[in-house]
Amino acid sequence: NAGVTQTPKFQVLKTGQSMTLQCAQDMNHEYMSWYRQDPGMGLRLIHYSVGAGITDQGEVPNGYNVSRSTTEDFPLRLLSAAPSQTSVYFCASRPHREGSKNIQYFGAGTRLSVL
Amino acid sequence: DAKTTQPPSMDCAEGRAANLPCNHSTISGNEYVYWYRQIHSQGPQYIIHGLKNNETNEMASLIITEDRKSSTLILPHATLRDTAVYYCIVRVQGGSEKLVFGKGTKLTVNP
């Protein structure tokens, strides 16, 4: 199993450009999440999904859109990039089955710079 | 989810045990203690979790006090590759999706 795969690993955008950060998992996990990590700030939840067709906002959702059309994929869209969105983005997934340990599995991250 | 308190940094000699403390004095009866770590520039990695009994796996041991207000993560024989930020997280199992990582403890293993 590949686990949680994020693409691209690095990206540089100009202010106002749009892009999609891709996240895919092959563990059949129901829950998927997006976090951003800034220096000295820890990880902050952007959006999450409890299953295909269901998404909800985290603590810092502004400027980001998500959708969950399949169990495997959970893309994060930046509609109009701003320098404040320069960060490292992590995607995570976990199972939601009775008896599961509620363990989150994280991708390797996407490092985004907005100039 | 209950808040946790961890020292900002610790040092450990290679080959020695690393003992990382965590205070969670407001923990509820149905909340578990989870430990994750983040090696530089990588995604966080699950280490271990427990409710009230001590736990051990291939990576570490978790000691939870009887009143559950604090816990200690033990890496029995620390290596240079264990240098990372260690996060103690308290949450209910199957609870809300948000993981509150806080700032964690930066463990530096020295040769």
pLDDT (tens digit per residue) in A8-40? 999 999 999 999 999 999 999 999 999 999 987
Q: Could you say which of A33, A43, A101 has the minimum Cβ distance to residue B97?
A: A33
User: Under an 8 A CB cutoff, do A108 and B93 touch?
Assistant: no
Q: What is the mean pLDDT of chain B?
A: 91
Q: Could you say which of A43, A45, A88 has the minimum Cβ distance to residue B97?
A: A45
Q: Does residue B94 surpass a pLDDT of 70?
A: no
- What Rg value do the Cα atoms of chain A yield, rounded? 14
Give the closest-approach CA distance of B101 to chain A in angstroms: 6
DSSP per-residue letters across A46-67: EEEEEETTEEEE-SS-TTEEE-
Beta carbons within 10 angstroms of residue A106's beta carbon = 24
Rounded CA-CA distance A59/A16 in Å is 23
pLDDT for position A10: 96
Phi, psi of A48 (to 5 degrees): -145, 165
B1 half-sphere exposure, CB direction, 13 A CA radius: 20
Q: Which residue of A has its CA nearest to B50?
A: A101
Give the closest-approach CA distance of A16 to chain B in angstroms: 27
pLDDT for position A106: 96
What would the mean pLDDT of B39-45 be, rounded to a whole number? 90
Rounded CA-CA distance A40/A26 in Å is 31
Chain B touched by A9 (CB under 8 Å)? no
3-state secondary structure (DSSP) of residue B82 = helix
Distances, alpha carbon A33 to alpha carbons A18, A76, A105, in Å: 20, 10, 10
Rounded CA-CA distance A84/A44 in Å is 14
Rounded CA-CA distance A99/B84 in Å is 30
Structure tokens belonging to residue B78: 């620390």
For residue B15, the Cα-to-chain-centroid distance in whole angstroms is 19
pLDDT (tens digit per residue) in B65-75? 999 999 999 99
